[in-house]
Chains A and B, each alone.
Chain A
């Protein structure tokens, strides 16, 4: 077993559009330790989200290999990837992506439908996740009844409810004001420090990146900077 939570080697991806080829990642290597909070920064199109998708098994590289924990994610079939994601990865998105027809509690409970838990266990676990983001008093509210910051906290609770080892956050503060963004980033930092979650956060915001233990800067498909605190 590796001492890295995430290890990727030679990640390469080329997109073909309208007869043109665009290489967004070019033989990228990355190692992230368990419990580390890493920020991926860089200009648009530099390949940040693509790396996140490879690690989360939402996309596959043309070349290279991604290992998360003991699993070679890049070798898994599509159906095995889905099952693996349900146990090991939590996603946080810029636009929160809560289902508008469900309450905060139901949104958080949704990933648990795939777990071997009964109704009361699912509810208890979802309530606990909401309490970690201090939103237990809003659990019966629909997303449209919550502020942007509250919606993102619900999304964080949803990402951690299955107790995954890895949390992948794609511009989690992109739609939030500074104060609210700071609250969200504090929660992410706490999850890393107090709960041992490995967090990779894509961001354009240098202030957000400052919350991370380590900042990796990408440009034109390659890492150009690796700054540890």
Chain B
């Protein structure tokens, strides 16, 4: 017999109540970790992005295209190694719910800008030679069962085609070991998009969504950005050039102040857990008045009697918290798959786990304090007379 055993046995006095409270703690701690991990993972994503890449987009809006002719000046600037045109296609396969990222790119340049995209040499060549060719990520291929040689018909929403779907021939399935390079995307020839749209709409030119540059040296990024933007400061369209990491961070911030928003949700969840645990512990202590009287009669000090209730509260809070941490840990692969391109770097940091357990500890202590103080103050003779 030990005090630890007594605490555990008391927890099992009402197993359903204790179980549900611990379950509540598990869900709350899991949610807290999950929400915090979204924030840290978005942060990680921007940190891991290649430091030698620059994105030049319209200074007005991300949805405003730039004159294609800009590429000629940018290409010839000091410090710029290569430039690819890059346009978001925004189509879907058969049904609008079958949505995934599609980009029109300069194939040969794209290969050198994104070494994360791993493709067999013959597949690069096949793709380069096939005007309607495309490459797809391994996860996308698995999802739809597509193989090299298949035709993928996509309906264009931004770039609709008069005769219906755009047909793309799968020339290769790329692999990637990088967590920031989406394995669920499709890349195709920029010129296929440009020429088709110019023909369909009788246009003389075709604006480009944005330009992706690779600079000679990482330390030239800031200077190159400044120089590009200064060239087009007077128009016809102003540009905004920024390191790829900053571009991604700005993209994320378009969704609002996510960290603050998620932080408030997390705080609300933790507050609810605290109230639930306090309620459980108050009920437990009210039921335990007679027991406390007996313990005090035996010689247990007021402090020990109070500590028993704090220990119970901590056991529920930390026990549930540990389960929540475990759940957060084992669900990483699930959420990586679920978030896909939105949060490709989804992970749970050790610091997040420690923070969550710290919160569990504090909630356990706070929830146990009021019942513990009641137990401390309890008069043994009165408690024994209470008959509870």
Contacts and interface: CB of A to CB of B under 8 A. Distances in A.
Contacts of B293: 97
A110 B299 contact: no
Interface string A88-100: 0001010101011
A22 to B, nearest CB: 15
Given A101-B9, A102-B9, A111 B298 contact: yes
B381 A53 contact: yes
A122 B387 CA distance: 29
A79 B301 contact: yes
A113 B297 contact: no
Contacts of A97: 290-291, 293-294, 384
Contact of A56 (B5, B9, B297): B297
A206 interface: no
Contacts of A95: 387
A95 B379 CA distance: 18
Q: Main SS of the interface on chain A?
A: helix
A53 B296 CA distance: 12
A44 to B, nearest CB: 12
B157 interface: no
Contacts of B302: 78-79, 82
A114 B298 CA distance: 9
Contacts of A56: 297
A99 B291 contact: yes
Given A106-B5, A109-B1, A113-B2, A82 B291 contact: no
Given A100-B13, A101-B9, A102-B9, A86 B299 contact: yes
B154 to A, nearest CB: 65
Contacts of B12: 101
Contacts of A114: 298-300
A85 B13 contact: no
Contacts of A101: 6, 9-10, 12-13
A58 B296 contact: yes
A156 interface: no
A70 B285 CA distance: 36
A100 B12 CA distance: 11
A105 B384 CA distance: 22
Contacts of B2: 113, 119
B1 A82 contact: no
B381 A59 contact: yes
B297 A58 contact: yes
Contacts of A102: 1, 6, 9
A204 to B, nearest CB: 16
A113 B301 contact: no
A139 B295 CA distance: 20
14 contacts: A53-B381, A82-B296, A82-B299, A82-B302, A84-B299, A85-B298, A86-B298, A93-B294, A99-B9, A99-B291, A101-B6, A101-B12, A106-B1, A111-B298
Given A58-B380, A93-B384, 17 more contacts: A58-B297, A58-B384, A78-B302, A79-B301, A82-B296, A82-B300, A82-B301, A83-B301, A84-B299, A85-B298, A91-B297, A95-B387, A102-B9, A110-B298, A111-B299, A114-B299, A114-B300
